[in-house]
Structure 1
């Protein structure tokens, strides 16, 4: 297979940054400032530091086991092939919910700029998601390039917002530094936890790199630096210019831009929200669709979904399933007036369960990597603490695990699954016979 169908460092970094740099930057600086005042910046710094061990763990796993199964492959390697289905289902079926919630966040900013309501937010969300699915249908070569353009534009906009607002900084906005006590810093860090997630999503892209062992450490390091600079820059500038007044507004990026460009800032922020949303959902769809194909390949989902599971191919059938589930969810949200909070919390419960599985696998698999294993242990402890706060929403990941085990039970007689350990043999057999279909780029 030609290496031209693989992604490189630039496109990979754009996909990683798009997944990790979520819509939180549009609202979380205000939310954490209300929670902990200027001391919320400590929480931001802690979460940036937290990115290092968790990213190192997933990068180490991706270097050792580059495969579209991502976390599901890691779990199978660590705990046996029967664990790949439950872990894979947790992420795969959370992708429509997670991408829908992210798109609704972006849609709400556009709707606000246009004077629309929740229905308009859903319509904008549907448009953004449609574009992301089309982008992935055309292949990672286009999707990764588009991601690079969007992330670059977004980063430039955030840098401009920081630059135009910085002259209006006031030192008194940092006093008192911890008006609500230091315990509030912990509460702010909890709010920020999901703003720094996304590493589990891009783990499914590890097999798409032309040289994972060389490229993944570079991509991971660049992603951490970009996310740290942009998040800390916006949070610090927002505090210095706007303070921690609860009435200062929930869209700090708009308020910062207003310092330099005036009333047009609302429209600019709406565009930024749309770009940021597209970048995020594009990365999650790219990873999720490849996971679905890998699960189909291994018999953990219907084998028809396995078409397009090889690196460089387009998992079109998996994309169709994800797009259909997403469309159903958006229609239900419109008809039943389901709001953002329950959708986002449901997705988060599944994604955190994926983190628990992936990091548990890392603890076992990375015994020869001191830094990677230490990162896995530290991250696993932190994630387990957060996992306990989801309450009844934990029934969703439990239900998906049960569904996966039931599927495994009733399909066990259909022949042995390929499993992650047989991927190389299967690909070798595939290469040895003529193919009637061209490889998609």
Structure 2
């Protein structure tokens, strides 16, 4: 049984199958793509939600120094891209990381990767569809046509928001109102969600809240991909041109409004502020790996795929760094934590026309990302189905359009339904964790195949640098740095010392009695001004206190200790990912010394794993549940029907 779980495919067998046209699938895919198209696809996939929305939050946390995070992430992604490129030139068929793992690790791991890639593409698409819907409704509200009496087309809140956000926002608003906040003082996101929940039509007790524009764009994109690669390629190339033109326009106009005083201080919140943006910045690079799913449609995959990936990452990094510098140069970086930073900055300097142009192009940009991801997903399913791990209909190729037709339609459903009620934060992090997991396994796969003489090599091979002396030194230096520079935090991590609960969590967790106590304590604390305890806004008062004063207030408060401090298991569980990271680092360091591993894939593995551990424990739990469901499907269907289980005829 154990051997069967890890049965591997040989590269020669994969290439033979590809040449023959996959046994019972006579229809092969059209070979139409060159380096230019691949680079364009890469740019189409990478530049999207990242530059139009998440770059704002990252710049607000890290200040102008966020450019270092973009460079660090680009380097980490390049390490992973090197590993992808080596595999893509060894095994030039559709299927990306899934096919690569089949060769390196065997069937079970390949299935797990294929299953987590489903998560990357479909969940990534849900994220993009939701952001697209935000930009689109924003754009509609700015349309003004005086002759027709149109002053902005306003879509009701309950039609542009997911069910979860509306419900959570409503509950959050209730807790804050109970703690003494006025309705007018709620932050805009909470107020919007609360309004959507209260104004939504009801069936029985059920509130009808759904993101309709997100559904519409997914249906449109699915239809386009169903029609064929050539149509998708032309649409994608056109959208990339629009996108690059707008970014260059932003840089050309913005550069004249840059005030270098805004770059001082360069890193207002220090290293920790810069690192806060890891998930957002990484999300801005996801997509270069989608290029590798189109290997079968390339004219010369062994030469073109590595080039396409590298060009895409280099071009995007230069653009990201330039945009981050221009944005933080025009306004103070701490004002940038908005959903549409590019449009916001030009609003600040009264260039309304520019922010209009940006909103229009963001709508196109997001659509082109959707296109690339929606295209990658069916091709991975097609590969899994050819290997017998999924039912045959998934690898049916449309006789006229030559696309995996059934798989494309199923993907449309898988993305469309959750986009109606899933919440943006959950999906961004889940998408990042699934992708990083795939990157980690691809880097590990290159290391596993490194010294095997029986493996056929492609034209592209990662430059070999021995990590024996480099990795152990880096590991020891990092630990020494943590203890000397961040001694207090590092000791708190290792000894699990109790931690004060954050203001907003503290206030919203209190019941009526406890709230009354806290409000009275605030009145005493804020003497000599006499305030009525009922009128106190507990959340605003405590948020405004400096860190040490807040600690003193919490220590003196009569509220139960569980509400004031996080300790024991509830605190330790958030550190589990970091502990996993440290243990794996020790194991890798050991192997570097004993096995002379190649440096680039090792660095790729470590940097992607680190970013994975920066994501919270709830994402790990969600990811774990997803993998368990995948294993059930594998043992119920794939294990029995796998092509490798049937004897050669």
Cross-structure match for 2:601 = 376
What residue ranges of structure 1 are gaps of 5+ in the alignment? 430-441
Q: Indicate which of 116, 119, 130 corresponds to 1:90.
A: 116
Give 1:248 deviation, angstroms: 7.5
1:147 Cα deviation after fit: 0.6
Q: Judge which range, 397-406 or 312-321, deviates more.
A: 397-406
What residue number does 2:625 align with?
399
After TM superposition, list the pairs within 5 Å mapping 1:308-327 onto structure 2. Answer: 308=397, 313-327=402-416
Show the counterpart of 1:224.
313
Change (3 A) 1:260 1:38: closer
Which residue is 1:350 aligned to? 434
Deviation per residue, 1:190-236 (Å, 9 max, x gap): 53122112233332222221111121132123212321222112111
Q: Which residue of 1 aligns with 2:449?
A: 365
The whole-number CA distance in structure 2 between the counterparts of 1:62 and 1:302 is 25
Structure 1 position 72 matched with structure 2 position 72: no
Per-residue deviation, 1:103: 1.2
- Which residue pairs with 1:176 in the alignment? 265
What are the superposed Cα offsets for residues 139-159 of structure 1, whole Å, 9 maximum, x if unpaired? Answer: 111111211110111011010
Higher mean C-alpha deviation, range 409-418 or range 321-330: 409-418
Match of 1:47 among 61, 70, 73: 73
1:196 partner SS: coil
- Give the TM-score of the pair, scaled to structure 1: 0.85
Separation (CA, whole Å) in 1 of partners of 2:639 and 2:284? 42
User: What's the counterpart of residue 120 of structure 1?
Assistant: 160
Q: Is the alpha carbon distance of 1:118 and 1:50 closer, same or farther for their aligned partners in structure 2, counting shifts above 3 Å?
A: farther
* 1:302 maps onto 2:391 in alignment: yes
Counterpart of 1:245 in 2: which secondary structure? helix
Q: Is the 8 A contact 1:86 1:400 kept in 2?
A: no
Cα pair distance change 1:36/1:301, threshold 3 Å: same
Deviates more, 1:180-189 or 1:101-110: 180-189
* Superposed CA offset, 1:53-107 (max 9, x none): 2222212211111122211111111111232222111112443222011111121
Name 1:163's counterpart in structure 2.
Answer: 252
Deviates more, 1:19-28 or 1:289-298: 19-28
Aligned equivalent of 2:38, options 12, 22, 36 = 12
Instruction: Go from structure 1 to structure 2 and tell me whether the alpha carbon gap of 1:309 and 1:353 turns closer, same or farther (over 3 Å shift).
Output: farther
Q: Kindly indicate whether the alpha-carbon contact (under 8 Å) linking 2:47 and 2:284 is maintained by their aligned counterparts in 1.
A: yes
Measured on the aligned residues, the alpha-carbon RMSD in Å equals: 2.9
CA distance in 2, matches of 1:68, 1:329: 26
Say whether the 8 Å CA contact 1:238–1:256 is kept in structure 2: yes
303, 310, 313: which one aligns with 1:214: 303
Corresponding residue for residue 380 of structure 2: 291
Greater radius of gyration (CA): 2
Higher share in helix: 1
Q: Distance between the aligned counterparts of 1:417 and 1:142, measured in 2?
A: 33
Structure 1 pair 327–184 and aligned structure 2 pair: CA distance change class (3 A): closer
Unpaired segments ≥5 residues, structure 2: 1-26, 142-154, 162-210, 452-456, 465-597
Cα distance in 1, alignment partners of residues 58 and 359 from structure 2: 22
Which sits farther off after the overlay, 368-377 or 87-96?
368-377
CA distance in 2, matches of 1:282, 1:339: 21
* Superposition deviation, residue 3 in structure 1: 9.0
Q: Does 1:37 align with 2:63?
A: yes
**1:24 matched to 2:39:** no
1:154 aligns with 2:379: no
Count of aligned residue pairs for this structure pair: 416
In structure 2, do the counterparts of structure 1 residues 209 and 247 end up closer, same or farther at CA, with 3 Å as the change threshold? Answer: closer
Cα separation, partners in 2 of 1:267 and 1:323, compared to 1, 3 Å: same
- Corresponding position: 1:243 with 2:332: yes
1:140 aligns with 2:229: yes
- Structure 2 length normalisation: TM-score? 0.59
Other-structure match for 2:635: 409
Bigger Cα displacement from structure 2, 255-264 vs 26-35: 255-264
For each residue in 1:262-303, what CA deviation from the matched residue of structure 2 results, as whole angstroms up to 9, or x when unmatched? Answer: 323343222222111111111111111100111111122122
Call closer, same or farther: CA 1:32–1:289 in 2, change over 3 Å.
same
Residues 40, 185 of structure 1: 8 Å contact kept:
yes
